[in-house]
Amino acid sequence: MSVLGLDCGGSGSRWVVLDTDGDPLARGTGPPLAGHLFEAAARQSAIDALRTLCADIRASGATIDAVVAGITGLSATGPEAGAVAAMLAAGVGAAPERVTVVNDIAIAYRAAFPDSPGILVYAGTGSVALHVAADGRESRAGGHGCMIDDAGSGFAIGQQALRWLMREADRAGNLPSGALAEALLARVGGRDWLAIRAYAYADSRRHIGLLALAVAEAAAAGDPVAKDILRDAGEALAALARALETRVGTQPVALSGRAAALHPLIFETFAKFLAPACPRRLELDPAEAAARMALTAAAG
């Protein structure tokens, strides 16, 4: 017997197959997959991503008995979750009743606070904070998407960097030099406004979110603007936790998600703005956390 855990987000997907002892049998990455199924193009892209993931998982040769998948932007009680679960069951050959599809944040929350409540701040392409009370009642802050806010997210980090780049260019009449500009332009794949515009406006949410990787590279090389952008992100993520604290009181706080793991400055700043609340960084791989949930469910 083996179980599958999936962690699907706006910048990419990860999966892991564990055996009954909890040891990894196979791992892989795949295309981005988000539950933002408002429009036909996004829906088709999600279906294509699921097909690719299932084909790769089948190619690993593992027999999948149970699945837990966390998918960004998707409500566990919405119709999309049922549709994705049915596709996953068919795609990896598992019984439909042993496939669970939830929001990716739900997985991270369970991994961070398996027994008692807390506040999880989660920063991927988007950003959100979640508290689940002892009675199961959920409270959220953030999670309003890139057109409204998503402060501290990969999208916000990439957008702030792109804004800095263009404002510098506006003042000087040409693009700035330095580590941050070079890292951004390398990801954009061009060195003029037409290339930047084409990059940013095709698949905006994902492409701008991916620029957060360039900001992290530049910060690692010592770029002061890149460092400031990451500090701003840490502060914005702390503000999400503080917003929830005004409603649910002081709680243990955990920070998770790929954007939060970009560079140590994010967690350092986050912790500084939450000094008395004992924040901790969550190092657990969400795909593995999902697989462990599947293992527990299958054993229970």
Do residues 128 and 261 make contact, with C-beta atoms less than 8 angstroms apart? no
CB of 14 to a copy of itself, least distance (A): 26
Under the binding rule (CB under 8 A), the answer on residue 103 touching a copy of itself is no
Between 58 and 97, how does the x/- string for binding to a copy of itself read (CB under 8 A)? Answer: ----------------------------------------
Choice from 1, 55, 172, 195 touching a copy of itself (CB under 8 A)? 172
Exposed, middle or buried by CB within 10 Å (0-12, 13-18, 19+), for 153? buried
Q: How many residues belong to the site for a copy of itself (CB under 8 A)? A: 31
Closer CB to a copy of itself, 37 or 84, in the complex: 37
Under the binding rule (CB under 8 A), the answer on residue 156 touching a copy of itself is no
- How is residue 269 written in tokens? 């700043």
Closer CB to a copy of itself, 86 or 193, in the complex: 193
Under the binding rule (CB under 8 A), the answer on residue 163 touching a copy of itself is yes
Choice from 166, 220, 297, 298 touching a copy of itself (CB under 8 A)? 166
Under the binding rule (CB under 8 A), the answer on residue 147 touching a copy of itself is yes
Choice from 142, 154, 257, 279 touching a copy of itself (CB under 8 A)? 142
Under the binding rule (CB under 8 A), the answer on residue 12 touching a copy of itself is no
Choice from 100, 103, 125, 159 touching a copy of itself (CB under 8 A)? 159
Under the binding rule (CB under 8 A), the answer on residue 167 touching a copy of itself is yes
Question: Which range binds a copy of itself by CB under 8 A, 53-61, 217-225, 242-250, 267-275?
Answer: 242-250
Closer CB to a copy of itself, 134 or 171, in the complex: 171
- For a copy of itself, the binding residues (CB under 8 A) are 38, 139-142, 144-145, 147-149, 159, 162-163, 166-167, 170-173, 193, 197, 200-202, 204, 208, 240, 243-244, 246-247
